[in-house]
Structure 1
Amino acid sequence: MSSVLSLLKTARIVFKHYSRSFCIGFLTILLPATALSETIYVDDQPVDVQVARSETEQQRGLQGVRHLEKNQGMLFVFHPARQVCMWMKDVPIDLDVGFFNDKGQLIAVRHMKAQTENTHCSPRPIAWALEMNAGWFQEKHLTEGARLRLN
């Protein structure tokens, strides 16, 4: 919530000093990065996620994010389901990615090291990928077959 308030304060300053077209462009760039989170569940574990639906949001992913709270992550949506590869360019923290098929079942978890360009691919077509802090899936005892539940 504080990031949204900060964005609104910044927007007010920008609107006061710059042209309308510049301000609209400025907000278009910032709003996807500060979108409000949604709560989803993996089995009984609640997760606050930012959702990456568009290609632009998916390409940006968690680039530049230096910290995620304990149950915070990013959910990538792929419809129709397809095989997907992820990478960690410009992501300064280690992450795990869980790949979920079109039935919402976890089919694989991959560990991804920060600031690398190695690809981490789903073994089969998926509908969702969930990026979380490194070790989160193991800590929560979430293995293949765990269920993703959207609100």
Structure 2
Amino acid sequence: MRKFFVSAAASLAILCSTHAIADQPARFPVITLNAGMHLIKAEVASTEAQREQGLMFRESLGPNEGMVFLFHAPAGVCMWMKNTPLPLSVAFIDRDGRIINIENMKPQSLDSHCAKQPVYYALEMQEGWFKQRNIKPGSIISGLPQPR
């Protein structure tokens, strides 16, 4: 009987830890981007499913961490913050890495924040990250993954 309880307890512990892992937001491959002298550790969301998930359910980001959304063709892109508890800033970026516009986004909002022209990338960082570093439209982000 004792053997059954030990086995049941072990199974329950595995089930609970698996459930806790399943509740964690998925992480995507990380690359290093440059914004002038500033390094960014950016997760890459390159598939439709990854772009749909984005930074949903993330509770925190490191000081130079973010997510770059890769669109494989120029697109009229709008971002929103459903299920995203962090305030973020998003930079919309053309094929050459030039920032077109930057928008601040409120947590948990369904408001759309759109690129002012078709873009290949959107880079989300903690709100104010770009402004604090004097990175603005016209600035270049290098190290971006190439569209297919």
State TM-score, norm by structure 1: 0.77
Equivalent residue runs for 1:116-135 within 5 Å: 116-135=109-128
2:41 equivalent in structure 1:
48
Task: Report whether the alignment pairs 1:68 with 2:61.
Answer: yes
Is the 2:28–2:45 contact (alpha carbons within 8 Å) kept by the matching residues of 1?
Answer: no
Is the 2:75–2:118 contact (alpha carbons within 8 Å) kept by the matching residues of 1?
Answer: yes
2:129 equivalent in structure 1:
136
- My pick for the range that moved more, 82-91 or 33-42, is 33-42
Count of aligned pairs between the two proteins: 129
Provide the rounded CA distance (Å) in 1 between the counterparts of 2:124 and 2:95. 17
2:82 equivalent in structure 1:
89
- My pick for the range that moved more, 34-43 or 44-53, is 34-43
Runs of 4+ in 1 over 6 A off after TM superposition: none
Percent identical residues = 32
2:72 equivalent in structure 1:
79
Unpaired stretches in structure 1, ≥5 consecutive residues: 1-12
1:5 equivalent in structure 2:
none
Shift of 1:36: 4.1
Provide the rounded CA distance (Å) in 1 between the counterparts of 2:94 and 2:29. 25
2:141 equivalent in structure 1:
148
Instruction: Point out the structure with max Rg over C-alpha.
Output: 2
1:34 equivalent in structure 2:
27
Unpaired stretches in structure 2, ≥5 consecutive residues: 1-9
Task: Report whether the alignment pairs 1:100 with 2:93.
Answer: yes
Shift of 1:43: 2.2
Provide the rounded CA distance (Å) in 1 between the counterparts of 2:68 and 2:81. 15
1:113 equivalent in structure 2:
106
Structure with greater helix percent = 1
Listed one character per residue, the Cα deviations across residues 109-129 of structure 1 (whole Å, up to 9, x for unaligned) are: 000000010010101000110
Letter in structure 2 aligned against 1:63:
M
Shift of 1:35: 3.2
RMSD: 2.4
Provide the rounded CA distance (Å) in 2 between the counterparts of 1:58 and 1:147. 22
Letter in structure 2 aligned against 1:129:
A
